[in-house]
Chain A
Amino acid sequence: MSASTSLKTPRTALELQRIVVSKLGWMGCGIALLLVIAPLLDIVGVVTINGLSAFSVQLFTKNTGGTTNGLLNAMEGTVVITLFAMLIAVPIGIGAGIHLSEYGRDRLSSTIRFLSDVLTGTPSIVLGYFSFVVFIIGFGWGFSLAAAAITLAILIVPYLARITELALQQVPNSMREAAYALGATDSKVVFKVVLPAASAGVITGTLLGLAISVGETAPLIYTAGWSDFTWTGHFTHSPVAYLTYVIWTFIDQPDAHSHALAYAAAFFVMLVVLAINISVRLVVKRQKFA
């Protein structure tokens, strides 16, 4: 009994102060976490509600011009630009990743690694302006699909290369040795053994690249231009529409219908980007790729 009473001595002022500071500290941290997550939920909420209320069949059948308009040209443009950007970026990015991972011990590779990090950190508007100077003015292509796709490809390649490299490096060396022991050549080892084993990581990189190219705006303003019609089928001298441009410009228009189109476009872009990122993260967690 005496022991328990002696343990219950009143707390000193210093102890009280420490406890209060700790409680306040935890509260601060909790509020901070809320303040970080709440805007995301609000963004998703606002865009989803306004986007869904703007939903109609017209969105998929009409172009942006005219009075009863939709988003057909913008959606088609985004799909086409992304498709061609991926066609350019995927072979180069995966090739660079293979080189970095399998033959990447020399000075050239560490230079490539450093430069690709620099390229990742370069603001996309700088890349966009570069393309404007080179393709639009230099080559005289005009605002065009080719310029837009190449710009996005330059943007995606470094991501793709680094993710591919990481994925390939996680393939155990014993698999390579086993393949070599069976008499496989260098290229057979890489393409028939290592690449299939790392396919999940490579696909992850490709999907993230896809998400980036769907969500980008700044580099496209200076390269794709804008068109109220669907893609003409020409690679140069014909501007292309894309969804993010609709978000950027239509929200500044005075009429409610333009606002609705902007929200609908934002909804589609966000849906694609979040769906890709969430599914990639879930799959990655399960497969222990990091």
Chain B
Amino acid sequence: MRCTVKKSLLSVADTIKKISEGRPLLLAGDEEALKQLPRGAWIAGTIPYFMTESGGSSSRDQVFVTELPDDVAGATLHVYDESSIRRIYDDMPENGFTVVILPALTPIHGSFATDAPTYHRFATRPLVGWISGVHLTDLGKVTPKVFANGQVYTDKAVALHVALPAGKAAEVGIVNIFSQSDRDTITFPTTSFKVTDAYVNGEKRNFAEYVKAKGLDSKLPLVADYYGSSINVSFQSVDADKGEVSFYAPVFSDVVYKHAAGVTDYVSEFTTNMPEHAQGIAFACNCILNYLYSDLEGKQTGGITGPITFGEIAYQLLNQTLVYVTIVDIPSAA
């Protein structure tokens, strides 16, 4: 048997009612909607895009509400700054999971993206989460924000540490419709969101010139193979005049990347790769680039619902990926 988690797009008034019930909540919504919510056991990030049961949608006046199951053993809110986020894995419950939300385009976003793999106890416990954003028409005008217990932050991360009872466990999964092509092998000399040089099949090249010369489709990410799982880094911009390429997550030095193979039918690929037992998913999020490039507005993605985000976290920052955490029953050792 699996835990049942309620996830729905609610009005501000209905969200306030949920908060008043006292149950820990994970919220996502436009800043103006979230600012109307009272203090309580909730964390949130700003974003007006959602995967709903009827498909991808956008709303500035509704809030996506994820209620934790009845049988969680406890949940605690935590606010991290750029220094303390390094110990997030130490703060996680022995048995449970953590959802963390960071504001996009901030120092804490950048440091988490670059340094999370070096954190103490990295990946030892289930960490998922997302990068908050803004409506695309507000880019450059409004800053992404996160909330905890009614307080708003522009430079901190918020986390909900969720403890599970004995007999239950959380497991993190991803759905990535991209895989490596059989084209050139690309490595980078430094770990960075922005690069000039790369090694293409071992030969040093200006990467922006390479991208232009090859005519690479920047809607397709670079993909690394992490022992059978494809991990993406998405292009943000290619500036051939400056010779710079920017990404939505850092490329890591010495990791081997290849440009992604083309995808013919995005929605079909998502549906085919969705996990079984979507009802056991405690939390999920999907990338805004998938929403945009795959034209997911009004299209269902295999019954999984949640915010559409400026970056996804499954232990570390990912791009163009659907992330989920599932609560499963664990047979007793006896």
Whether both chains belong to one complex is answered with no
